[in-house]
Structure 1
Amino acid sequence: MRKPLVTALAGAFFVATAGVAAQAAQAEPARWSGCPMDEFCVYEGPHGSGRVATFRTGSFNLAHQGLHNGGRSAWNRTDHPWCWEDKPTQTFDPLQVVRFAKRLEDVGAELPIRAVHQWDNRHCRY
């Protein structure tokens, strides 16, 4: 009598824990999602997590796109280099460039991405 009861309890535990694991997997948002081809995307969190803002040419202040604290990661899905800065600006440091088809995994919370622009001779030179 004990063996079937133990087996039944073990089976019920497995089903219950599998359901919890499936719910946890569903609750975890997909990383690097929401970034269309031919756009530059900035994510609120590290490694492509959190809210995303997408761009074709850029933004001098990401707060205008809802990223009030800036972004911590980015994905360049364009054929052009992009520059970024840790402050709202219209002029960019040529050393902070994201080459085409590259990702910034985590710039850190201390110097978040606050402005981005596609390379051109006026805003972003390298």
Structure 2
Amino acid sequence: MNRFRSTLAALGLAMIALTSPAAAQTQSPGAVEPLAFADCPSGYFCVWEHADGTGHWARFRTGSSDLTVPIGGFVFNDEISSVWNRTSRIWCLYENIDYGPPALRIAVNWRGPLGPRYDFNDKVSSLKPC
């Protein structure tokens, strides 16, 4: 009977984690080593540590005003080198926390490195839909 209860409790906790609205609406950490850009799901704005879409990554629906706060144990502040905007909105990247200027606008469906062409490599401290 105890084994049944512990299994039932574990399943209940798993269901809570899967259906949590907060997890669906806020930033969620991705895997440590994704297969380049392949892990970014539709409907999210994804960021990576390296210019080729590898390394630590995170996905966003609403953005983050302060990337100095760890996401999945990694601090993305001034560490973002590539992005993919898989949302239907233009996103803005900011050099300062709390959306301080200047901003780099990322078009819908654009993906790639933030430098050297855009001179925004390892400079992002906050981000959100524009």
- Smaller-chain TM-score range? 0.5 to 0.7
Normalising by structure 2, we get a TM-score of: 0.59
2:95 pairs with 1:90:
no
Which one has a bigger Cα radius of gyration?
A: 1
Instruction: Specify the alignment match of 2:123 in structure 1.
Output: 112
Normalising by structure 1, we get a TM-score of: 0.61
CA RMSD, 1 decimal: 2.4
The secondary structure found in structure 2 opposite 1:32 is: helix
Q: Which has the higher helix share?
A: 1
Of all paired residues, the percent bearing the same amino acid is 27
Q: Measure how far apart 1:60 and its partner are.
A: 1.2
**Residues 52-110 of structure 1, C-alpha deviations (whole Å, 9 max, x = no match):** 1110010012232222443111110001000001222234545x100100013133686
Give the gaps of 5 or more residues in structure 2: 1-32
The 5 Å alignment of 1:1-126 reads: 30-64=35-69, 65=71, 66=74, 67-93=76-102, 96-107=104-115, 111-119=122-130
Give the gaps of 5 or more residues in structure 1: 1-27, 120-126
Q: Which has the higher strand share?
A: 2
